[in-house]
Amino acid sequence: MRKLIVSILVLVSFALQGQVKPSWTSASEREANYPQRFFFTGYIEGNVQRDETVEEAKNRLLKDAQGLLTDGIRVTIRSQSATRTVSTDTHFNAVFEASVQTASEVEIAGINSEPTYHDSRTGIVYAFAYVSRHELAGYYKGNLAMNLAQAEGLLKTAQDLEASGEKGKARGQCEQAIPLLARIRTAQDLLTAIDVNITPDGLHQARTEALHNKLVQMMAQLAQAVYVYVESDERNFNQSSTIISNRLKAALSAKGCSFTDDPAQADFRVKITATTRLHGVEHGLTVCFADVAVALFDVKRNRSVFHDEFSQKGISTTREAAGRKAHEDAAPAIVDKFSQWIE
């Protein structure tokens, strides 16, 4: 009998322990153990709803507690970035601001939580989530450095592409760098808010400002370029060729035009069709003609502005060489025909 009584008392003791509220359900205990100067926290309590189990209620409220925590962090980020002046370039600003919004909504790394607690006497469920400011700062410092290095690499590639006349591709590299700059700014805003001892060097401010200024300048330069998309179907007798399109690009590039592989980004679209025919022999040399059809479409005005068909003569020692000469000489003729529309 005595052993039975002891066993019952032990079971009752365990049951009572299970009903003891965790210390974190008390506001004063939370502040003592998770002070705001060291932690971001999210705390919530609520009832089990009619259409859910206790476990479902625990999961729901834990997500709500985590949401409160992340909302607090995002408010901190927004409060730091609210007064920043970005650029006078409207396109850059539009992409940047949209990217900042996306960056501030990403999942926060390092969130921890206490086991949810259900008070069977009252039916209330308690949930608590927290993240160390120190650990969060470490994550964002690493995130900042990684994104900064990647954005600088994209900018360098864009500069190289622009120097070689591939401004359409250069613009694409810049477009990829802008969201990274937004993530860098978001990380800097958070670090400034949670680490009062962080230095400008720790935030990589000088590198970030240099990146920002160069991106804005390059985007402004690229926005002034005329972008051309070239589609061609060229044949020198039985051989596929790109002679005319390559010569055309070189000539238009000298006039300040740039080229894109995406027709949706083009200011003008050019379509070239060219074939070669043998004409005969003159003074011991072979004469060929390149029969060319060319069309120019103004994308901004959504209209065809030019269409022509012409034949360009070429003379050389062989049929293939004469055909090539005819194709080469066709390109300047096309540029002359386009000059009043593409400047």
Nearest-angstrom CA–CA distance, 167 and 249: 12
For residues 292 and 314, the answer to whether their CB atoms sit within 8 Å is no
The rounded mean pLDDT for the chain is 85
pLDDT at 341: 73
Residue 1 lies in a domain: no
The phi and psi torsions of 101 (rounded to 5 degrees) equal -60, -45
Q: What is the Cα–Cα distance from 325 to 173, expressed in whole angstroms? A: 37
Give me the mean pLDDT over the 272-276 stretch: 95
Query: Residue 219: what pLDDT?
Result: 86
Q: What is the pLDDT of residue 101?
A: 63
Concatenated DSSP letters of 201-268: TTTTHHHHHHHHHHHHHHHHHHHHSEEEEEEEEEEETTEEE-HHHHHHHHHHHHTTEEE-S-GGG-SE
Higher pLDDT, 145 or 110: 145
Q: Which of the two residues, 190 and 99, has the higher pLDDT score?
A: 190
More confident residue, 98 or 28: 28
The encoded tokens of residue 236 equal 């020198």
- Tens of pLDDT, residue by residue over 103-138, are 666 667 788 999 999 999 999 999 999 999 989 899
Q: Is residue 245 part of a domain?
A: yes
**Do 177 and 245 have their domain in common?**
no
What pLDDT, on a 0 to 100 scale, did the predictor assign at position 10?
42
78-87, long-range: CB < 8 A, 24+ apart: 78/104, 79/193, 80/188, 80/189, 80/190, 80/192, 80/193, 81/185, 81/186, 81/189, 84/185, 87/212, 87/216
Q: What is the mean pLDDT of residues 58-75?
A: 90
Q: Residue 169 in 3-state DSSP?
A: helix
Whether 248 has a pLDDT exceeding 80, the answer reads yes
pLDDT band at 94 (very low <50, low <70, confident <90, very high): low
Q: Where a domain ends, among 164, 191, 224?
A: 224
Collapse the DSSP code of 142 into the 3-class scheme (helix H, G, I; strand E, B; otherwise coil) and give the result.
Answer: helix
pLDDT at 131: 92
CA distance 313 to 206: 59
Name the band, by pLDDT with cuts 50, 70 and 90, for residue 93: low
pLDDT in tens, 31-59: 999 998 899 999 999 999 988 999 999 99
Q: Do 93 and 86 contact (CB within 8 A), yes or no?
A: yes
Together in a domain, 92 and 196? yes
Tokens standing for 333?
Answer: 């003729």
253 & 202 share domain:
no
Q: Let me know if residue 2 belongs to a domain.
A: no
Percentage of the chain beyond pLDDT 70 is 85
Q: Does residue 251 fall inside a structural domain?
A: yes
Number of domains in the chain: 2
Work out whether strand 239-241 and strand 303-316 pair parallel, antiparallel, or are unpaired: unpaired
In a shared domain, residues 188 and 281 = no
| Judgement on whether residues 203 and 57 belong to the same structural domain of the protein | yes
Residue 165 has pLDDT above 80, yes or no: no
The answer to whether residue 91 sits within a structural domain is yes
pLDDT surpassing 70 at residue 81: no
Q: Are strands 226-236 and 257-259 parallel, antiparallel or unpaired?
A: parallel
**39 and 89 part of one domain:** yes
pLDDT score, position 11: 44
- pLDDT of 107 reads 67
Q: Specify whether 195 is located in the same domain as 305.
A: no
Task: Pull the structure tokens for residue 77.
Answer: 């980020």
pLDDT of residue 148: 96
The domain boundary, picked from 166, 198, 224, lies at 224
Look up tokens 């069309």; give the residue. 295
* Residue 180 resides in a domain: yes
The per-residue pLDDT for range 186-245, each reduced to its tens digit, is: 888 888 888 878 899 999 999 999 999 999 888 888 877 788 899 999 999 989 999 999
- Co-location of 215 and 285 in the same domain: no
The upper half-sphere exposure of residue 296, i.e. CA atoms within 13 Å in the direction of its Cβ, equals: 18
Indicate whether 193 and 310 sit together in one domain: no
* Measured distance CA(7)–CA(196) in Å, rounded: 56
Higher pLDDT, 10 or 123: 123
* Residue 181: C-alpha distances to residues 66, 75, 291 (Å): 27, 20, 50
Range of the domain at 293: 225-338
Give residue 4's pLDDT band: very low, low, confident or very high (50, 70, 90): very low
CA 260 from centre of chain:
19
Compute and round to an integer the Cα radius of gyration of the chain: 34
What is the structure's pLDDT at 164?
80
Per-residue pLDDT tens digits for 275-324: 999 999 988 899 999 999 999 998 878 889 889 999 999 999 999 999 99
Please report the beta strands in the chain, taking only residues with DSSP state E, as ranges in sequence order: 39-47, 112-113, 117-118, 124-132, 226-236, 239-241, 257-259, 268-282, 285-298, 303-316
Last residue of a domain, one of 224, 243, 277: 224
> Structure tokens of 289?
């003609």
Q: Which residue has the higher pLDDT, 191 or 80?
A: 191
Question: Which is higher by pLDDT, 17 or 100?
Answer: 100
Q: Is 157's pLDDT higher than 90?
A: yes
Judge if pTM exceeds 0.85: no
Q: What is the pLDDT of residue 153?
A: 97
Over 60: is that where the pLDDT of 2 sits? Answer: no
